[in-house]
C-alpha cells in the first residue's frame, strides 16, 4: 500500500475570508471591462462569488452571525442579478442561483 502524505488543511481568519470575497467582487466588476471583445466567460467569477457568499453565509448563520450572513447574501443577490443580465440561458438555469434565495428565506425566518 502506498503511504500518502496528508496535506494539512490551511485555515483562514475571518478577515482573510472576507478579503477573498472582496477580491472576487472586484474581479466581477472589472472583468467585463478588461476582457471586452475577447473570448472570456463572464459568468465564472460571478458563480464563484455567489457560491462563496452562500457557503460563508451558511457557516455564519450556524454561529448566529446573522448581520454578517445578511451582508454576504446581499452581495450574492447583487452578483446573481448581474449574472442574469450578462449570462447565457444555462447561466440563468444554474442551480446555485436558487441557494441565495433559499438562504435569504432561512435567514429571515431566524
Average pLDDT for the chain: 86
Q: Which long-range contacts (CB under 8 A, 24 or more apart) does 46-49 make?
A: 46/79, 46/80, 46/82, 46/83, 46/86, 46/87, 46/91, 47/83, 47/91, 47/94, 47/96, 48/24, 49/21, 49/24, 49/25, 49/75, 49/76, 49/79
> pLDDT band for position 4 (50/70/90)?
low
> pLDDT band for position 102 (50/70/90)?
very high
What number is the average pLDDT over the span 93-103? 93
Identify the pLDDT of residue 1.
47
What number is the average pLDDT over the span 66-77? 96
Amino acid at each position: 500500500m502506498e503511504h500518502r502524505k496528508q496535506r494539512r488543511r490551511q485555515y483562514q481568519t475571518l478577515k482573510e475570508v472576507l478579503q477573498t470575497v472582496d477580491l472576487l467582487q472586484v474581479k466581477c466588476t472589472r472583468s467585463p471591462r478588461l476582457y471586452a471583445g475577447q473570448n472570456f466567460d463572464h459568468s465564472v467569477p460571478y458563480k464563484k462569488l455567489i457560491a462563496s457568499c452562500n457557503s460563508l453565509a451558511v457557516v455564519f448563520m450556524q454561529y448566529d452571525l446573522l448581520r454578517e450572513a445578511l451582508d454576504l447574501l446581499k452581495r450574492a443577490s447583487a452578483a446573481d442579478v448581474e449574472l442574469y443580465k450578462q449570462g447565457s440561458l444555462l447561466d440563468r438555469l444554474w442551480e446555485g442561483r436558487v441557494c441565495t434565495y433559499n438562504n435569504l428565506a432561512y435567514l429571515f425566518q431566524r
